[in-house]
Chains A and B, each alone.
Chain A
Amino acid sequence: MSAPTSMGLDNRKMAFWAFIGSECLLFGSLISTYLVYKGKSIVGPYPPEILNIPFTSVSTFDLLMSSLMMVLALAAVQRGDMKWGKIWLFSTALLGLVFLGGQVMEFTEFVHKGLTIGTNLFGCTFFVLTGTHGAHVTVGVLWLLTLWVRALQGKLGRANAMTVEITGLYWHFVDVVWIVIFTVVYLIQ
């Protein structure tokens, strides 16, 4: 529980929104780099030859559903229903793990097809952008599992709803970044 502030806002939440703002700049620069080098690779494989839209669409659906699980977890914790809070928190982490599994499969397939981070400009910008996003998802999954374990230990309850809300902010931000990546990288080829 945080100390009162002169603005009447939770200082952890304020700090976290400032952090998310800085993350906007990080991902903005990575997406800009991808766009600037788009179509400038002089050797293949090129995006239309290698990107698997149906597979990535399922990953996108998975991440969107994980965001739903996250808000359901927050709603449950806020009303003190820790049974469902634990279920939704674990579901969110599980869907995050499924997304990561999909990304590992995708990266492995690309490497087998000859696309690595050093192959061409597409490979370099693609792996850096989606890899950075994947690293954020990994941090989010670890964070969610930590909360879930704390909930199992009885150390997470209605009084800690702000902790779950801040975790949710991070998770939803990871989701909105993917919404942009899915459109810019996969659908606009």
Chain B
Amino acid sequence: MSAEHGAAERHAHPTVGVYLRVAAALVILTVLEVGVFYVPAFHVVLVPVLLVLSAAKFTLVVMFYMHLKDDDKFFSFLFGAPLVIAVGVMVALLFLFFGALTLRGVAGAG
């Protein structure tokens, strides 16, 4: 038996019903994202709400459509480790540029 068939037997993929439910969830989350963008009352919490909704969509696609939920954990590592590094670099750069500016501003004011 090839590795292909062996792996396929060990990690069954979701059913078509699951795929359709995930698609419905993705559409609802996208409608919410756009809705939140246009409702002025949400503008105070716009960024965190949008980031949470985006992260939910990202997770749904990766878990169910890319099958990481049921697939071998090594694949999750191959994807997750660079993703953590990429997000870490992003956060570090934002702190470096915007955090440094703020500190300089405070120091200058003092």
Contact = CB atoms under 8 A, between A and B. Distances in A.
A21 B2 contact: no
A172 B65 contact: yes
A71 B86 contact: no
A188 interface: yes
Given A2-B2, A64-B26, A64-B27, A36 B86 contact: no
A104 interface: no
Given A2-B4, A17-B79, A28-B86, A168 B65 contact: yes
Contact of A29 (B26, B38, B89): B89
A179 B25 CA distance: 14
A60 interface: yes
Contact of B46 (A3, A13, A188): A188
A89 interface: no
Contacts of B57: 176, 179
Q: Considering residues B53, B65, B67, which has the most beta carbons from chain A within 10 angstroms of its beta carbon?
A: B65
A141 B86 CA distance: 26
Nearest to B51: A183
A8 B7 contact: yes
B34 A180 contact: no
A168 B61 CA distance: 11
A147 interface: no
B16 interface: yes
Given A22-B82, A187-B37, A60 B30 contact: yes
Interface string A3-43: 11101111101100110111011011101100110000000
A28 B86 CA distance: 5
Given A60-B30, A65-B23, A176 B62 contact: yes
Given A72-B19, A183-B33, 20 more contacts: A2-B2, A2-B3, A17-B79, A21-B82, A25-B85, A25-B86, A28-B83, A35-B90, A36-B97, A65-B23, A67-B61, A71-B64, A75-B16, A75-B19, A168-B66, A176-B57, A176-B61, A179-B57, A182-B33, A182-B54
29 contacts: A1-B2, A2-B2, A4-B3, A4-B6, A13-B7, A17-B78, A18-B78, A21-B79, A21-B81, A21-B83, A24-B83, A28-B85, A32-B90, A32-B94, A53-B34, A53-B37, A53-B38, A54-B34, A57-B34, A64-B26, A72-B19, A74-B13, A162-B4, A162-B8, A165-B67, A172-B61, A176-B61, A180-B54, A183-B51
Interface of B: 2-4, 6-8, 10, 13, 15-16, 19-20, 22-23, 26-27, 30, 33-34, 37-38, 46-47, 50-51, 53-54, 57-58, 61-62, 64-67, 72, 74-75, 78-79, 81-83, 85-87, 89-90, 93-94, 97
